[in-house]
Structure 1
């Protein structure tokens, strides 16, 4: 019996709360290169876990991300209007575009991440990092601090808001609304209300930048919206492009910082090596991206015609939904060996991950995320050499999302137990 028939009648239901992303990924991998899964709301899709198959699909011009053109269930309105994950396919931006439309939309937002613009952000990133660390340093010596809320979450949001020219008074509102887009356990009512809030904020941002334009990406995209050439952005494309930049420029870096802290505190020998200069912070960043892919799964892709993959023996029928499992690539034993589940910044294959995607949809903000990671982690551990987890690593709870891979809270003691050695870590992580 071939894999298509073996799995078609019994889809694997993804856990919407993502209590064990890596355990779930291992079970999916054991079922084959790709297997049928059920998403929230009863929507069925393929989950692809094999590294080679993922690369082939992500570089195949017959695989689209445009639900408006290539997902029959969506086009025929068989996907409920209140489906909790609908914002991921409703949007019209470079994330979901296909062919010439993707080229047009990606070119318009590409100016946000030019080498010149990213390098110019270094002083800003350093200043934001220093300011956040100053705030943490003011905490009492024995205080327990949520490092995700106070540092990992805030830093990339402030950086991307600087890039986009987001007014200071709306930072917190964007923080809460964008976070809700990544939750996969919301009710239909909660998801709908959150989507409404997101677009109200985006409309407000555009209105504010029209009143006071600046040297920022939002103002540049508004100019593209007003342009009369063929590259002109529609109003929906303008809002959704801003949404993509805020979401993509934030979530990956949040989870990178979060997991890097946990991994290093769980492996004091490796932390000592990076502090001594034996291991570079860039190595820590790459191994964290491999070991804990910040975006575990990305939805959705659709074949524009039947696509048969000879290597796996699988056929993906026209219009079938496909979920790409990036966390599977990072833990692939065929790529990283039997120790794939272990964090090791000296690993030869540490850069062989797909944390930023692959092919034409490779994340434009990849180098910005890496830069933020290197600056923020180095400064954090320099400022707080006695940093420890305030709970055992096994007690940390994941965010309720099979898309975003991070922790709900990251409780730490900035000065450990007073020894300043960083040796007071409870628990360990693999």
Structure 2
């Protein structure tokens, strides 16, 4: 089957049909080539941790994989690697996202959230994506990496072009790649000349001191991935969480009455409407069987995180948002060795963003019954989230 527009606007209806009738289904993938779509929770979870399913594109069947082509300086990243290179790079960058480091960032994140809400004023209307959900993670990740504020607007436009390429502007994504490559090259050169207390300077020190641990392409690719994923996943998780609450005012009221429930609620937001429909494509290094279906080596395998998280065999009544649910074990941020490296930071930012928003405004209402989703078959995020708000309370 072809992936229809419904997978963008109403993906869960499509996934429910597939999960029930053919949980491992032959489809036309996001690049127009044949692929296998896996939709059941148990199958997806097992596949995410299966070492026979490689992220390395060299294992793809010839002619079976086509996608947005990145230059080597951006392509040598964790999303295209298996161990041992994946293990080596993940260890190098993992220290930036430890629980201790994230706790240290909570106060600055809250200050950023409060500043963005201050700019909205007491009563009015806005697009919460452009005014709040997007600039918050951009600010956090850019400060973590040491990227000047003057470049953050450009970075967002480049990222948007890569997340959901516009078919009417086929050169936009390529232009974004060229621009980002040039920007990162200049930034790394500047950090070499003037190192600072930031993650990029730390990575450069590792690269220059120990050449066998980090190549130049790996260095730039890591910077690209941290920027891209650090922004993309979090802006989508925040926007989706707020939309879910607006569609479920009883759940919003429950969080207002007891903000201590917000950390657990974030897990339910991620399960209910996570930031990605699909995990990064995999390629079997040998013939594998998923469910009852034999998949030849080299074929493309697409694992549906969102379908798995709505599987009633794992989560009863899965299409209902329930902040009291035990959503632990959801797959929104992956599983196994490729589990999202920035998950602790994404969780913290979403907790803080939701808490600050609910504390600030007594009333928040949608201005459009059906906000528009990004035209992407992988990312699950809103183009905009128009709301009205009133009853603002100043920060203490």
TM-score, normalisation: structure 1: 0.85
Q: Would you say 1:106 and 2:90 are equivalent positions? A: yes
Deviation at 1:156, TM superposition (A): 0.7
| Alignment of structure 1 residues 186-335 onto 2, 5 Å | 186=167, 188-231=170-213, 233-277=214-258, 280-309=261-290, 312-335=291-314
Q: Specify the alignment match of 1:414 in structure 2.
A: 389
* Aligned mates of 1:41, 1:251 — CA distance in 2: 20
Partner of 2:24: 34
Please say if 1:64 is aligned against 2:54. Answer: yes
RMSD: 2.3
CA distance in structure 2 between the partners assigned to 1:33 and 1:136 by the alignment: 45
1:121 aligns with 2:105: yes
Selected match of 2:319 from 341, 355, 358: 341
Relative to 1, partners in 2 of residues 1:66 and 1:120: Cα closer, same or farther, differing over 3 Å? same
CA deviation after TM superposition for structure 1 residue 150, in Å: 0.4
CA contact (8 A) 1:305 1:319 kept: yes
Contact 1:17/1:400 (CA < 8 Å) preserved in 2? no
**Distance in 2 of aligned mates of 1:241 and 1:297:** 21
Residues 145-224 of structure 1: pairs in structure 2 closer than 5 A: 145-186=126-167, 188-224=170-206
C-alpha separation between the residues in 2 aligned to 1:251 and 1:16?
A: 22
CA distance in 1, matches of 2:23, 2:121: 48
Q: Would the alpha carbon gap of residues 249 and 41 (structure 1) be closer, same or farther in structure 2, given more than 3 Å must change? A: closer
Cα distance, 1:204 vs. partner? Answer: 2.4
2:364 corresponding residue in structure 1 = 387
CA distance in 1, matches of 2:117, 2:292: 52
| 1:43 maps to 2:33 | yes
- Counterparts of 1:122-137 in structure 2 under 5 Å? 122-137=106-121
**Kept after mapping to 2: 8 A contact 1:258/1:407:** yes
For 1:271 and 1:340, how far apart are their aligned partners in 2? Answer: 18
Q: Is the 8 A contact 1:263 1:343 kept in 2?
A: yes
2:387 aligned with 1:404, yes or no? Answer: no
Q: Shift of residue 361 of structure 1?
A: 0.3
- In 1, the alpha carbon distance for the partners of 2:19 and 2:98 equals 37
- Large movers: runs of 4+ above 6 Å: none
3-state SS of paired residue (1:323)? strand
Displacement after TM superposition at 1:57 (Å): 1.3
Residue 196 of structure 1: how far off its partner (Å):
1.5
1:133: how far off?
0.9
Q: Within 2, Cα distance between the matches of 1:321 and 1:278? A: 43
- Between 1 and 2, higher relative CO (CA 8 Å, sep ≥ 6) is seen in 2
Query: Larger deviation: 270-279 or 162-171?
Result: 270-279
**1:225 offset after TM fit, Å?**
2.2
Shift of 1:260: 1.6
* Contact 1:17 1:185 (8 Å CA) reproduced: no
* CA–CA separation in structure 2 for the residues paired with 1:283 and 1:41: 36
**Cα gap change, 1:164 to 1:16, in 2 (>3 Å):** farther
SS of the residue corresponding to residue 98 of structure 1 reads: coil
CA drift at 1:345: 0.7
Unaligned runs of 5+ in 1: 1-10, 421-430
SS of 2:330's partner is coil
Contact 1:185 1:401 in 2 (8 A): no
**Distance across 1 between alignment mates of 2:30 and 2:79:** 21
Residue pair 1:14, 1:37 contacting (<8 A) in 2 also: no
How far is 1:185 from its partner? 4.8
Number of aligned residues: 391
Query: Structure 2: 5+ residue runs without aligned partners?
Result: none
